[in-house]
A and B are shown apart, each in its own frame.
Chain A
Amino acid sequence: MRMEPRIGPAGRDDEVTRALRALHAPAGGEAFWEGLERRILARVTNTDDDIWWRQFSRWRRELALAGAAAAVVAGFAAHHSNHVRSLAAYREIESSTVAPVQVASETEREASRDVTLRYVVGP
């Protein structure tokens, strides 16, 4: 790799880099980093309540459980409602004196007989 000459003459670049690094290093050593970390986390925590999706994430498990429970209840209600409807239909059939199916088939049979009779006795 070609080394482009930097700022100082040959062999002085490390010295320059060290000086640049020292110029840009924060004062206070570890105490500075601990303080900075605390300040960052404090700002993040303070803003946490404003982030709606973070709230959503926090309640995601509860929301999923509630959704599943609602689905089970809705399914049971639908099943129960079908059962009640079907039971009512059976009771109606049982309490009826003439079975609707029989009535319908007899009506059809009679109509067919009439047609045959009209054909035989007709002109």
Chain B
Amino acid sequence: MTAPSPEPAQADAERALVREAQSGSESAFAVLVHTHMRRAYAVARAICATHEDAEDAVQDGFLHAYKALERFRPEQAFAAWLNRIVANAALDIGRRRKVRDADTLPETLSVPLFDPSERSELRGRLGLALRVLPDRQRSVLVLHDVEGYTHGEIGTMLGIPEGTARSDLHHARASLRERLRDLWSER
């Protein structure tokens, strides 16, 4: 499964909206926000370690997109363009957080944020297993297995070669499989 691409009629309507937004219509941009916000959040959440960072990344991403709207070419897919910007904002937040944590709170790197809503065993174990994955592997795994993006799309979003995305996915799955092995054997 890949990211959904709009039907031709929808694509035309979206291009018209983008053109309106480019000529300064805030209401047209509001419709674009409403349409793409959830997908943008999913991309940001796959990259950011926390929900709060993902939310900041989505807001930053839309703001960057709004400022750069003049440079967007309508023949491009708006969703792909926006998701690249949001992914970049999420990576940026992750980098800033790492620097901040390294300077001030080194212990936060080894203390996973435990979500009390993780009631099911599988979810709880998955959550813990995800936290020990390297950031990029976790992002690739979620973007591919949960959000359905292709290796190529993930590579473009994260700024890595497609082969690296493929290899990250393989390693992430192997790592999770290993950590959850006993869970499966118990059943």
**Interface-lining segment among A5-13, A66-74, A83-91:** A5-13
Q: Is A97 an interface residue (CB 8 A)?
A: no
Chain A interface size band reads 35 or more
Q: Is B12 an interface residue (CB 8 A)?
A: no
CB < 8 Å neighbour of A19 from B30, B51, B123, B173: B123
Q: Which residues of B contact A121 (CB under 8 A)?
A: none
Residue of A12, A26, A36 ringed by the most chain B CB atoms within 10 A: A36
B58 touches A36 (CB 8 A): yes
Closest to A26 in B: B51
**Interface-lining segment among B21-29, B88-96, B98-106:** B21-29
What 0/1 pattern do residues 135 to 147 of B give for CB contact below 8 A with A? 0000001100110
Q: Is A47 an interface residue (CB 8 A)?
A: yes
Q: Which residues of B contact A23 (CB under 8 A)?
A: 115, 118, 123, 126-127, 130
A40 touches B126 (CB 8 A): no
**Interface-lining segment among A52-60, A98-106, A107-115:** A52-60
Closest to B65 in A: A44
Give the B-binding residues of A (Cβ under 8 A). 4-9, 12, 15-17, 19-24, 26-27, 33, 36-37, 39-41, 43-45, 47-48, 51, 53-54, 57-58, 60
CB < 8 Å neighbour of A12 from B34, B45, B66, B184: B184
- A-B contacts counted at CB < 8 A amount to 95
| A37-B41 Cα distance, complex, nearest whole Å | 11
In the complex, 12 of the A-B residue pairs with CB atoms within 8 angstroms, ordered by the A residue number, are: A6-B173, A12-B184, A23-B115, A23-B118, A23-B126, A26-B41, A26-B51, A26-B54, A36-B59, A44-B62, A44-B63, A51-B66
Chain A residues touching B, majority SS: helix
Q: Which residues of B contact A16 (CB under 8 A)?
A: 122, 126, 145
Min distance, Cβ B88 to any Cβ of chain A, angstroms: 16
Min distance, Cβ B18 to any Cβ of chain A, angstroms: 14
Q: Which residues of B contact A22 (CB under 8 A)?
A: 123
Q: Is B180 an interface residue (CB 8 A)?
A: yes
A8 touches B146 (CB 8 A): no
| A37-B173 Cα distance, complex, nearest whole Å | 34
B122 touches A58 (CB 8 A): no
